[in-house]
Structure 1
Amino acid sequence: MSQEMDWDQLDMNPRVIAAIRKANIKSMKEILNHSGADLQRLTQLSSMDVHYLLRAVSGVLRKNSVLTALQLFQDTDHRTSQRQKLSLGCPVLDNLLRGGIPLTGITEIAGESSAGKTQIGLQLCLSVQYPYKYGGLGSGAVYICTEDVFPNKRLQQLIEQQPRLRADVPHDVVQKIKFGNGIFVEHAADLDTFQDCVTKRIHVLLARGMVRLVIVDSIAALFRCEFGAKDSVLRAKYLQAFGAKLHSLSSKFRTPIICINQVTDTMDERGGAVQCSPGPTAKSIAPALGITWSNQLFMRLMTSRTSYLEEAIGGAPHHGRGVLRTLSVIFAPHLPQSLCYYTVNLEGVKGIKVETQT
């Protein structure tokens, strides 16, 4: 702000611009450091001209528009509303999370292989592109792959099924959204590449408003081969640094950060299994990366396959006899521990409403 200013970018009368240059004022900082009386004396402008000058300079420096106290109280502005959530594209799953994924903070989706973690991530990549009134954020998504090839074929299937899956959205709205163009895929197989991706490319996309969702699939893969058993302290420092950076991006741009994580077996001191998820599907597993990573999270969700069939809990006949999955809330400051059932089919991830659910 202290460097020489191009005054022509100010929306001001040329007479005022000429007076500023004649007074040898070279930066906005100089203007803000002077009182109104000093500016009148230096520029020979009227008090009204100085008033408009100060307002124009403030407008250039201010990045966000001002909100009134009434707007904040009513919580209606989508840029600041604490009630605004990112929909998962399914009313049952949204109901479990009281609206969807919070816009600020890191949300982890952990689970075993084939539990549906990536499917949920892909569905969020499409949901984020819908307008605010339909649970989206009206922008694109960044999907960072750390080990596997991006499932582009599956994404295309989901795009084709959007009119059927999102029956709550008018058909013309769905047709207008260019889903494939709104997803940016990045590959980061090591920590250095990941850091470069987050600090540079992702930051640029967020700053330009091209994306409002970041998905990392998976966060554990970045640390699996980089550190040995003796490097726990160094690994913890990296986890804290990456967590802080992701939190900073999320808070600055009000962007959900979704980290997909793997799970590991857990044992207590006696060698017995520890149940790490609530409900009848509890297993002796826990998300990878330990307590250091857990402390970086705002919300942790666990996905798992169950031994139940859809038909056994009253699933609709057209679902068929398939293995169910569960989505469990492990911890979140605004949610109780709870779970719901869901399936993954051609249309996408769909929750199953169960009357006897506890």
Structure 2
Amino acid sequence: MSIEQLELNPRIIKAVNNANIGVARDILKFSGPDLQRLTRLSASDVHHLQTAVAALFCQKPPVSALQLYRGECPEWDCGLRVSLGCPVLDGVLRGGLLPWGLTELAGPSGAGKSQLAMQLCLSVQYPAQYGGLGSGALYICTEDSFPIRRLKQLQNEQPSLRSDVPPDVVSSICFSDNIYVEHAADLGALMACVSQRVPVLLAQGRVRLLVVDSVAALFRSEFQADQGLERSRHLTAFATALHKLSASYQLPILCVNQVTDVMEGDSNHDAGLRPVDSKVVPALGMAWANQVMVRLMVTRLPGAVSMGTQSSARRRLEVVFAPHLARDSCLFGVWREGTRGLPSPPTQDASS
């Protein structure tokens, strides 16, 4: 779009044309002082120019933190959460996942990441009053084949796990019909899925949750150690595509991530980006960490816990960072019916 099509004072338009800036989008490439120097306009004129161009490309006005705090933007804070299907786990997350934005779930192999991801794919199908969004889920696999047998077991055990939901509500949901599985063997297939097939399902209202398991697998395997800049470029493009989907469709996105060891003396992962007292950090470094809104970490701990005739390894879910959550954690186990949090041990009175 040319500058002449903007509703601006002809004097401002003439000054911009004299500076050989004929396309409105090019205005966004310059800072205010640079535009003043190029066009010889006043600071007030430049402000009007930038405001007009910004309004052209940003149809929705920006939302401030104060507006969110006052509850003046219900479309961004509608109170909905995607439950993890367990009151203990939901308690750490203040009800569950936010219904938009990128949430990372990182942890070593066998920590329970895929178990939690599959449980969310079932939970999102419940009505809103039971912690769901009343729609299906898309599960993109980039590593192993999808664990369909475990999903069927979780589906059959929903009446046991979700005792808070009336049995007729549970029985009315065809869980397996609402989970779409896609396998991406390389980055090209992953980007094609995210940019082409996912929007079709979203536009049809068939899914309200996207799971990528895992985000690190392909970026680790397709780039060598000396290709860090190229990997960061592709990683940023992928994250940008996810952010656009989340913003356009109010879509919660769960990205499962691998971990890497922290080298002794390495300070690149400080400032609250890793779990407390952890010797591993989520993979893909700062290039990925800056794209994530919420970072959760799961770890497998020594020992086991029992529940009836079942036993499970002890695991911990920790909130590493989130804009709406304090750092917190809880223990959990993986059982036949699904993932359940373990009640916190009673605190001992120091005076006793």
Q: 1:299 aligns with which of 294, 318, 321?
A: 294
Q: Residue 82 of structure 1 aligns with which residue?
A: 78
Q: How does 1:39-78 map to 2 (within 5 A)?
A: none
Structure 2: gaps (5+ residues): 1-69
Contact 1:75 1:82 in 2 (8 A): no
Q: 1:287 aligns with which of 282, 285, 289?
A: 282
Residue correspondence of structure 1 range 249-260 to structure 2 within 5 A:
249-260=245-256
Task: Go from structure 1 to structure 2 and tell me whether the alpha carbon gap of 1:75 and 1:208 turns closer, same or farther (over 3 Å shift).
Answer: farther
How far does the alpha carbon of each residue in 1:176-225 deviate from its partner, in whole angstroms, 9 at most, with x for none? 10000000000101110001000110011011100000000000011112
Q: 1:334 aligns with which of 320, 324, 327?
A: 324
Paired amino acid for 2:159: P
Distance in 2 separating the partners of 1:106 and 1:270: 26
Answer yes or no: is 1:129 the counterpart of 2:119: no
Rounded to whole Å, the distance in 2 between the matches of 1:255 and 1:235 is 25
Q: How many Å separate the matches in 1 of 2:195 and 2:289?
A: 22
SS in 2 for 1:353: coil
Shift in CA distance, 320/151, structure 1 to aligned 2, threshold 3 Å: closer
Q: Return the letter of the residue paired with 1:106.
A: L
The one-letter amino acid paired with 2:114 is: T
Q: Work out the percentage of aligned pairs sharing the same amino acid.
A: 49
2:275 is matched with which residue? 277
Q: What does the per-residue CA deviation read over 1:315-339, in whole Å, with 9 as the maximum and x for residues that have no partner?
A: xx52755421000001101111111
| Contact persistence 2:313–2:334 (CA under 8 A) | no
Superposition deviation, residue 308 in structure 1: 3.9
| Contact 1:87–1:135 under 8 Å retained in 2 | yes
Once residues 336 and 230 of structure 2 are traced to their aligned partners in structure 1, the CA distance between those partners, rounded to angstroms, is 43
The answer for the alignment partner of 2:113 in structure 1 is 117
Distance 2:347 2:238 in 1: 37
Q: Please give the alpha-carbon distance, in whole angstroms, between the structure 1 residues aligned to 2:320 and 2:266.
A: 24
In the TM superposition, residue 270 of structure 1 has moved relative to its aligned partner by 7.4
1:323 matched to 2:323: no
* AA at the equivalent of 1:176: S
- Structure with the greater alpha carbon radius of gyration: 1
> 1:202/1:318 Cα in 2 relative to 1: closer, same or farther (>3 Å)?
same
TM-score (norm 2): 0.74
AA of the residue aligned to 1:298: M
The correspondence of residues 140-219 of structure 1 with structure 2, limited to 5 A, is 140-219=136-215
Q: CA offsets, 1:13-63, max 9 Å, x none?
A: xxxxxxxxxxxxxxxxxxxxxxxxxxxxxxxxxxxxxxxxxxxxxxxxxxx
1:355 Cα deviation (Å)? Answer: 3.8
- Counterpart pick for 1:221 among 217, 220, 230: 217
Pick closer, same or farther for the CA change 1:270–1:276 going to 2, 3 Å: closer
- 1:268 Cα deviation from its structure 2 partner: 3.2
SS of 1:85 mapped into structure 2:
coil
Give the secondary-structure state (helix, strand or coil) at the position aligned to 1:341: strand
Aligned residues: 277
Within 1, Cα distance between the matches of 2:179 and 2:310? 32
Query: Can you list the C-alpha shifts for 1:225-252, whole angstroms capped at 9, x where unaligned?
Result: 2111121111111111111110111111
Please tell me whether the aligned partners of residues 142 and 183 of structure 1 are also in contact (alpha carbons under 8 angstroms): yes
Contact map agreement 1:276 1:284 (CA 8 A) in 2 = no
Give 1:113 shift: 0.6
Q: TM-score, normalised by structure 1?
A: 0.73
Quote the Cα distance in structure 1 between the aligned partners of 2:309 and 2:332. Answer: 11
**How far off its partner does 1:83 sit?**
1.8
2:258 paired with 1:268? no
What RMSD over aligned residues (CA atoms) do the two structures have, in Å?
2.5
